[in-house]
Amino acid sequence: MAEAGAGVLVEETLQVFRDNYPGCEPTVGVAAPGRVNLIGEHTDYNEGFVLPVALPMVTVVVGCQSSNGIISLLTTAKEADEPRRLEFPVLTESNPLSPGLPCWANYVKGVIQHYRAGPLPGFKAVIASNVPLGGGLSSSASLEVAMYTFLQQICPDNGDLVEKALACQKAEHTFASMPCGIMDQFISVMGKKDHALLIDCRSLEVTPVPLTDPSLVVLITNSNVRHTLTGSEYSTRRKQCKEAADALKKETLRDVSIADLTAAESHLDAEVYCRARHVISEIKRTTDAAKALTSRDYWEFGRLMVQSHNSLRDDYEVSCPELDELVAAAMDGEGVYGSRMTGGGFGGCTVTLVDAAAVENTIQRIKDNYSGTATFYITKPSRGAHVLKL
């Protein structure tokens, strides 16, 4: 079982800071979680619904303000590209930041560039995370939101949480070239202990759904594979969704019913039709699933999860053999309500809803049947970004 406690992570990060910036003492510490989406995949950028949970796994930023106008950053992530330590002057209006190398710093620079108050002072910071990088649990959003939360401590903004999530999304769009929806940044900002959040990605209204039943376990299984293409496939899907909505003369697929789509089938490219069918059916499954969870109907919830997986595999074509194997292995036993790929796809993780009494057997069965090496996380819905007491 993976996952170091956040407390250990914070201690280690403080030590790295002291070792690398001798003579300075960190005065600010913040944490922002990764996420797992229970259902509602590829719906956020279609103004649909999503149902994510904030994880106990977090990105931590510790540091202090400096008076020399220089931003010094260091990440402890071994997977991040070199150099993992860099320095640059604070941005000014005439000298904005721009994306470049190393890639990992773009997420941070994007947040600094789009931060909603200023002028920012210089600062020194160390970044560390126990969210797996590139594992589909949104280490990127947790990094952006942690960085934003750090900046709030040294140069307060107006505290608006929605604007915060939107600024972090903008950072990912403009500096990491990833045209992501709003889910990841939103849940990392708003996450609520013991709850999943039903997020309406059109109105940005949030409805917390309690998830405290001790007999219910959310099991995340990391396939530990990541196929390339993720970025380009993602933008292709976005374009196809727009093409379908345009053909139906609607703003987004949120406004299209399955009946509308079926009636227009002959006017649509076959692939675009299937993409739209996934999105429209997934939006409905997500609101249905939130109702099932509220009434503790876990079998119904699980049935919707499996339907979601099949739709992502067959209509949206963002699954891969490894994720299909993990779902099949999870489902092939007692006490498992449902299982599906989670996140953008092409690797990353599955999420499985399982009875507490069946967790051990389920993990063993997945290990026995998966052709790769999986990592498992039993997770509890946790709070969103927060300031740490140092």
CA distance 165 to 144: 9
Do 330 and 352 contact (CB within 8 A), yes or no?
A: yes
Single out the residue of 45, 104, 115, 123 in contact with ligand ADP (rule: CB under 6 A): 104
CA distance 147 to 170: 14
- Asked if 140 is part of the footprint of Mg ion (rule: CB under 5 A), the reply reads yes
Site mask for ligand ADP (CB under 6 A), range 114-153, x = bound: -------------x-x---xxxxxxxx--x----------
Helix (H) or strand (E) holding 110: helix 104-113
Do 292 and 38 contact (CB within 8 A), yes or no?
A: no
- In angstroms, give the least distance from the CB of 314 to Mg ion: 24
CA distance 91 to 352: 44
**Residue 75, contacted partner among Mg ion, ligand ADP, none, CB below 5-8 A by kind:** ligand ADP
- Asked if 307 is part of the footprint of Mg ion (rule: CB under 5 A), the reply reads no
- In angstroms, give the least distance from the CB of 52 to ligand ADP: 13
Angle at 60 between CA 384 and CA 203, to 5 degrees: 30
**Residue 115, contacted partner among ligand ADP, Mg ion, none, CB below 5-8 A by kind:** none
Q: What is the DSSP-derived secondary structure letter of residue 131?
A: S
Applying CB under 6 A, the site for ligand ADP has a residue count of 19
Site for ligand ADP in 181-210 (CB under 6 A): none
Count other C-beta atoms under 10 Å from residue 79's C-beta.
12
Angle at 103 between CA 99 and CA 106, to 5 degrees: 45
Cβ nearer to ligand ADP, comparing 304 with 323: 323
Single out the residue of 75, 185, 188, 311 in contact with ligand ADP (rule: CB under 6 A): 75
Site mask for ligand ADP (CB under 6 A), range 222-261, x = bound: ----------------------------------------
CA distance 219 to 343: 14
- In angstroms, give the least distance from the CB of 133 to ligand ADP: 4
**Residue 135, contacted partner among Mg ion, ligand ADP, none, CB below 5-8 A by kind:** ligand ADP
Query: If we measure between CA atoms, which residue out of 244, 234, 253, 249 comes closest to residue 272?
Result: 244
Do β-strands 28-37 and 52-66 pair in parallel, antiparallel, or remain unpaired?
antiparallel
- In angstroms, give the least distance from the CB of 187 to Mg ion: 12
184 counts as catalytic: yes
Instruction: Out of 19, 44, 157, 184, pick the active-site residue.
Output: 184
- Asked if 80 is part of the footprint of ligand ADP (rule: CB under 6 A), the reply reads yes
23: tokens are 């003579």
Stretch of 20-28, 139-147, 244-252, 363-371 contacting Mg ion, by CB under 5 A: 139-147
Do β-strands 70-75 and 122-129 pair in parallel, antiparallel, or remain unpaired?
parallel
AA letter at 81: D
When CB distances to Mg ion are compared, the closest residue is 140
Applying CB under 5 A, the site for Mg ion has a residue count of 2
Do 362 and 335 contact (CB within 8 A), yes or no?
A: yes
Helix (H) or strand (E) holding 171: helix 161-175
- Which positions touch ligand ADP (CB under 6 A)? 59, 75, 77, 80, 103-104, 107, 127, 129, 133-140, 143, 343
- Which positions touch Mg ion (CB under 5 A)? 138, 140
Cite the active site residues. Answer: 184
